[in-house]
């Protein structure tokens, strides 16, 4: 395969980019229309939908995740500004596109486009140092990386902008296109409040390598100042989520307080070096697997490339010293932020060892690494996007075929069409994205009320649940089993106390309306479906 890089590298990269875009686009389209997209897709779509109507960065879905709701027991608020959770002004760059095509699917298409473009820019960046064949190999490694494919075919996320922006910044640096370098240096921290860590790492490389020490110092100074001012002063103007929730969820092990600023967390790390070292290397097996997964598509070169350690070091450090299951998950958005530094470090390593690429054995090894990366990505079924190809579980077996997905999706769409566009809704997580072009939306079964624009707390007009999907996965996954139990209990309670009536039910999909009388056929379906759920799933714990 790598010999093709040497013969027709430009054509090869174009074909790989087209293949990547085509396959990932088909996967995200199927994911959306088969109702495998989940809550985060709905959050970003609602943020864009509200922003397109002049209510910038407001989201009732984000409000449900805020500390006021999670810890304070308040009702989700439609006027809640998401900028208190994540400061993401760079999203406005793509708002005109969303205004033209106001759909959650637009965001998935945008994500595929941004990542595909990033690979093409990476090829041009690599050509600044390498001959075309080596540059094509690095671009192919990027497209084959688990940390790129997995997040791309999942829910839309703000980090999908990072690879393109970072590669453009580095291309501007290499070509001395200072307008490009400067604009990307400004924009990268706007992607998300912690994106400055990436910029800081690149600045550290420029200083340590002595290539551009003053530029590096400027990047570090700008990134550090931006992050500290933003997280300690700017974001708290919108909400207290940074200090009361997100800092504690990721770095609460470094403080004994009930809330903590970024400065306090940094102080806790400095005063507890042994704890910091422990967090850095544990759990050892997960850390090693994660690093190998990041290095593999680049033929393990980043492991021995000093520039890769510097350019990706600080965002990688941020993940290693944090807590939580998701920080070392290679199929979600955090992993994507590590790849640009690894790719750039790989480019620089090959530029210092140009003769090694002539080795047929080494090129075959690189091809093997790319193949293994694709294999491990496929078999990991990232974000359940490949559930129609790969079983989600073997013992017990959980496998949903493509015809099953689409057959069930037809029932879901039929039910959701009964909900008026302006109605307030509480919806189960896989139904949230396709209902998120509205002002008042919360997640079922955890909320049935919302604070509206008048400041009044009101019950939602409709509640929608898809228990079929939960039932399929509950036999093997504890999280789905717990949600199923909760949803069944809430549905029984809502119907029994008369607050809501069951007006439609098909294939385990339920639609309840406030103060409505239940439809006899829908009730009959619900009773039959409920009886079919194993007692183990709905038993009280």
Domain ranges of the chain: 2-36+86-384, 402-538
At residue 358, the pLDDT reads 86
HEC per residue, 483-533: HHHHHHHHHHHHHHCCCEEEEEEECCEEEEEECCCCCHHHHHHHHHHHHHC
Q: Is the dihedral of CA 52, 54, 57, 61 positive or negative?
A: negative
Mean predicted confidence (pLDDT) in 435-462: 97
Distance CA 517, CA 298 (A): 61
Mean predicted confidence (pLDDT) in 189-215: 95
At residue 1, the pLDDT reads 54
| Contacts for 220-225: CB closer than 8 Å, 24+ residues apart | 222/185, 222/189, 222/196, 223/189, 223/196, 223/197, 223/199, 224/196, 224/200
Mean predicted confidence (pLDDT) in 7-19: 91
Q: pTM above 0.85?
A: yes
Q: Which residues of 422-446 are buried (b: 16+ CB within 10 A; e: fewer)?
A: ebbbbbbbbbbbbbbbbbbbbbbbb
Q: Between these two residues, 437 and 281, which has the higher pLDDT value?
A: 437
Q: Between these two residues, 138 and 537, which has the higher pLDDT value?
A: 138
At residue 541, the pLDDT reads 42
pLDDT digits (tens, 9 = 90+) for 368-418: 999 999 999 999 999 999 999 999 988 888 999 999 999 999 999 999 999
373, two tokens: 């990366």
pLDDT digits (tens, 9 = 90+) for 490-518: 999 999 999 999 999 999 999 999 999 99
Q: Between these two residues, 263 and 369, which has the higher pLDDT value?
A: 369
Mean predicted confidence (pLDDT) in 44-53: 98
The single-letter DSSP state of residue 77 is B
Mean predicted confidence (pLDDT) in 231-236: 94
> Could you tell me the pLDDT band of residue 536, with boundaries at 50, 70 and 90?
low
At residue 64, the pLDDT reads 97
232, two tokens: 């300690």
At residue 5, the pLDDT reads 56
399, two tokens: 């496998």
533 pLDDT exceeds 90?
Answer: no
Mean predicted confidence (pLDDT) in 457-466: 97
Measured in whole angstroms, how far is the alpha carbon of residue 26 from the centre of its chain?
A: 18
Using alpha carbons, select from 512, 325, 311 the residue that is nearest to residue 428: 512
537 pLDDT exceeds 80?
Answer: no
Distance CA 15, CA 267 (A): 49
At residue 485, the pLDDT reads 92
101 pLDDT exceeds 90?
Answer: yes
Distance CA 355, CA 352 (A): 9
Mean pLDDT for the chain? 94
Burial of residue 307, with CB atoms counted within 10 A of its CB: 0-12 exposed, 13-18 middle, 19 or more buried: buried
Distance CA 297, CA 368 (A): 9
DSSP 41-75: HHHHHHHHHHHHTT-TTB-HHHHTTSHHHHTT-PP
325, two tokens: 């299951």
At residue 113, the pLDDT reads 98
Residue 281: how many other CB atoms lie within 10 Å: 11
What H or E segment, with its residue span, contains residue 135? helix 132-144
Please report, rounded to a whole number, the percentage of residues in the chain having pLDDT higher than 90. 86
At residue 326, the pLDDT reads 82
356 pLDDT exceeds 70?
Answer: yes
Residue 318: how many other CB atoms lie within 10 Å: 20
At residue 540, the pLDDT reads 43
At residue 189, the pLDDT reads 96
Strand order in the sheet with 441-443: 441-443, 425-427, 462-466, 509-514, 500-506
7 pLDDT exceeds 70?
Answer: no
539 pLDDT exceeds 60?
Answer: no
199, two tokens: 């910029």
């Amino acid at each position: 395969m790598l010999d093709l890089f040497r013969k027709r590298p430009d054509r090869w990269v174009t074909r790989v980019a087209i293949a990547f875009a085509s396959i990932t686009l088909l996967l995200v389209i199927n994911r959306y229309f088969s109702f495998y997209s989940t809550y985060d897709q709905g959050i970003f779509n609602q943020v864009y939908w509200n922003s397109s109507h002049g209510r910038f960065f407001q989201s009732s879905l984000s409000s449900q995740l805020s500390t006021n709701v999670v810890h304070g027991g308040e009702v989700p608020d439609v006027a809640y500004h998401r900028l208190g959770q994540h400061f993401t002004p760079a999203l406005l760059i793509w708002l005109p596109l969303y205004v033209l095509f106001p759909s959650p699917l637009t965001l998935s298409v945008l994500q595929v486009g941004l990542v595909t473009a990033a690979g093409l820019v990476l090829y041009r960046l690599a050509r600044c140092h390498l001959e075309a064949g080596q540059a094509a190999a690095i671009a192919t490694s990027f497209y084959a990386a688990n940390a790129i494919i997995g997040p791309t075919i999942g829910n839309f996320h703000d980090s999908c902008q990072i690879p393109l922006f970072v590669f453009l910044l580095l291309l501007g640096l290499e070509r001395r296109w200072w307008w490009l370098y400067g604009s990307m240096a400004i924009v990268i921290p706007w992607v998300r409040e912690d994106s400055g860590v990436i910029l800081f790492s690149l600045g550290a490389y420029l200083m340590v390598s002595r290539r551009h020490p003053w530029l590096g110092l400027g990047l570090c100074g700008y990134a550090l100042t931006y992050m500290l001012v933003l997280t300690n002063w700017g974001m708290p103007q919108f909400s207290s989520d940074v200090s009361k929730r997100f800092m504690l969820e990721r770095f609460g092990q470094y403080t004994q307080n009930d809330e903590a600023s970024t400065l306090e967390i940094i102080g806790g790390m400095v005063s507890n070096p042994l704890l910091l070292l422990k967090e850095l290397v544990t759990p050892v097996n997960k850390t090693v697997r994660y690093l190998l997964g990041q290095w593999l598509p680049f033929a393990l070169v980043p492991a021995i490339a000093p520039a890769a350690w510097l350019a990706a070091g600080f965002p990688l450090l941020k993940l290693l010293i944090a807590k939580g299951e998701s920080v070392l998950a290679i199929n979600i958005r955090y992993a994507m932020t590590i790849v640009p530094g690894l790719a750039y470090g790989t480019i620089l390593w090959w530029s210092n060892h140009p003769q090694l690429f002539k080795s047929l054995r080494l090129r075959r090894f690189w091809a093997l690494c790319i193949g293994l990366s694709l294999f491990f990505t496929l078999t990991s079924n990232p974000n359940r996007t490949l559930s129609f190809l790969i079983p989600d579980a073997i013992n017990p077996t959980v496998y949903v075929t493509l015809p099953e997905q689409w057959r069930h999706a037809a029932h879901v769409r039929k039910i959701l069409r009964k909900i008026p566009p302006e109605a307030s809704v509480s919806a189960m997580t896989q139904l949230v994205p396709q209902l998120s072009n509205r002002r008042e939306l919360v997640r079922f079964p955890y909320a049935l009320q919302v604070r509206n624009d008048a400041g009044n707390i009101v019950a939602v007009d409709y509640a929608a649940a898809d228990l079929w999907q939960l039932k399929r996965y509950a036999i093997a996954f504890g999280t789905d089993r717990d949600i199923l139990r909760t949803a069944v209990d809430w549905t029984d309670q809502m119907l029994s106390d008369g607050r809501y009536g069951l007006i439609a039910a098909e294939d385990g999909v339920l639609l309840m309306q406030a103060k409505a009388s239940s439809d006899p056929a829908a009730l009959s379906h619900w009773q039959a479906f409920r009886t079919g759920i194993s007692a183990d799933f709905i038993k009280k714990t």
